[in-house]
Amino acid sequence: MMQLLRDQARGAPISSSNSQEDRIGQFVLKEKIGQGTTGTVRLGINTSTGGKCAVKIVNKTVTRKRKEARKEIKRLERIRHDNIIALHHWEEDISNIYIFLEYCEHGDLWLFIQKHGVFNEETARKLVSQLVDAVDFCHRSMHICHHDIKLENCVITRDFRLKLIDYGFSIDLDPIPHRRDKSIRIYDSSPAYSPLEILQRKPHDETVDIYSIGVCLYYMLVGRFPFCTPDKTSLDELCHNVLNNDPHFPKGSVSLLGQHLICSMLAKRKRRASIEDIRSHEWFYSVDKQSEEEEEDDDM
């Protein structure tokens, strides 16, 4: 593994041939295509091959962002998985760190849903299955908790494969699973996707990622968050809703099996589904049959 915490700059500094075009090394930086927790993401074009990549640009003069960027690089240099974004390389100059990542043509799930609407259960099942695979790999093989799973951190390739991105908030786990209980005492995350233990700033474990997957699945099928409206719901209101309310499913939006799976992932910590529970859930194997049965009931 490369030693990333270096004092000297690495790679060519960013230059600009005109006001519209930035360059770094062999890459021309084009339009903004995303915004991560640590920096702006722009489309990069390799001037030699024409190949595309996503370039995350992080202001290294901001200590927190610099640390998160270096953490993400360190993570991605170790990870090789079909459903986790690939790191091509990274460079830095006196002002910024440039992280060159695999380019995903369809962008993130949040924007995709805003543009095209919610998914049917067949499509959601394929995407969530891939997200679960990525998270399971993080937990079991890499011993890390992602800690910021959300639709904006799930990007889609041209062939509609899901890739999990943005490891700036990720946390190391004890390699011995039974020693992980309530071992995490860091609370950086996105509130709408966060379980009660994070919202109340209590020690927790990697099962917070399971809760976040449940929120993602709910939004994929319903088109809103289960317990809040962003920018309109206060943190106190969100805590109250998560503590006291069950998710509401508009009629016809989600099959009974889908509702059961989502509720199991959004459950309080001690009752929350495990990765094994999710993978073995009947929704992944009989959702089509369930939908057909509900359509027949409506026709009667």
Catalytic residue among 108, 148, 205, 209: 148
Confirm whether residue 133 is marked as ligand binding.
no
Across 60-120, the runs of DSSP E, i.e. the strands, are 87-92, 96-101
Confirm whether residue 56 is marked as ligand binding.
yes
Tokens representing 267 are 């459950």
DSSP 3-state of 95: coil
148 is catalytic: yes
Cα 265 to Cα 209: distance, rounded to the nearest angstrom = 9
Residue 247 φ/ψ region, left for φ over 0, alpha for ψ in the -120 to 50 degree band, beta for the rest = beta
DSSP string for 143-212? -EE-----GGGEEE-TT--EEE---TT-EE--SSGGG-TT-B----S-GGG--HHHHTT--B-TTHHHHH
Confirm whether residue 153 is marked as ligand binding.
yes
Cα 135 to Cα 146: distance, rounded to the nearest angstrom = 8
Report whether 32 contacts 111 (CB < 8 A): no
Residue set of the binding site for ATP: 56, 152-153, 166
What are the catalytic residues? 148
